[in-house]
Amino acid sequence: MTYNLAEKTWPMIEEYLKSKKSIIIPVGSTEQHGPNGLIGIDYMSSWEIAKKVGERTKTLVSPPLCFGMALHHMAFPGTMSLTPLTYVAVLTELFQSLAKHGFRHFTVINGHGGNIPSLNAAFSQVLNGEQDYQFKLINWWHLPEVGVYEKEHFGDANGFHATCGEVSVTMHTHQEAYKEVPTNFKFAPTVREYPWPMSPQQFRTTFSDGRMGSDPSLATAAHGEKIFNIAVDAICQKIGS
């Protein structure tokens, strides 16, 4: 049985809300992820994880918000970004739309670090004067269980952007896409100290191929399957049924 909101009718949503007020909202970004990582990694990973969590916990899952705050990646072709103010406004109005229909418990599964400040700002916007709403933000790559696996298998080579872990997850979930991606990369270390935030050109100058401290040549679909399952199990534990 699917729990994808987009594959339901409005009477089905109305019936669901009679017994459950929870919804999972996957968010991410459309941005560069180095030479061998898909541009859609951030929303693809959160979307696939969210769908599996929805099935396991019998919780509706909204369509993914594929665009986020990724201005610092705009010097790389293919990146599509919202400004922070626009992103907060979009998030706020989407949450308010769902709240108007009766949803009260919002679990956001996020795949992009640049979204975190805006997500928290949007939560505050919606919570202003409304005490019965509950927001839970889960940045899946920050889950301790995921971190343990990545540390064991990748060590410091996991890095901070275009990481071995996130590339691995989409190698598992989107194997067909990676058939077109070259695999003969040898990655040199990137700088370890840098200012933040950065302009797009500063980022491109500092991290010329888009990676931040990572060696994603270590990424594999087998690692991705394990990380995916670890993340799903951990999130199901957090939100219950």
Q: What is the pLDDT of residues 70-122, one digit of tens each?
A: 999 999 999 999 999 999 999 999 999 999 999 999 999 999 999 999 999 99
The answer to whether the CB of 42 falls within 8 A of the CB of 29 is yes
Provide the number of structural domains found in the chain. 1
CA angle (132 as vertex; 22, 15 as ends), nearest 5? 35
Among the residue ranges 40-49, 63-72, 130-139, 157-166, the one predicted with the least confidence is 130-139
What is the extent of the structural domain holding 23?
Answer: 5-239
CATH number of residue 151's parent domain:
3.40.50.10310
| Residue 241 pLDDT > 70 | no
Q: How many CB atoms lie within 10 A of CB 74?
A: 17
Q: Is the pLDDT confidence value at 64 over 90?
A: yes
pTM of the model: 0.97
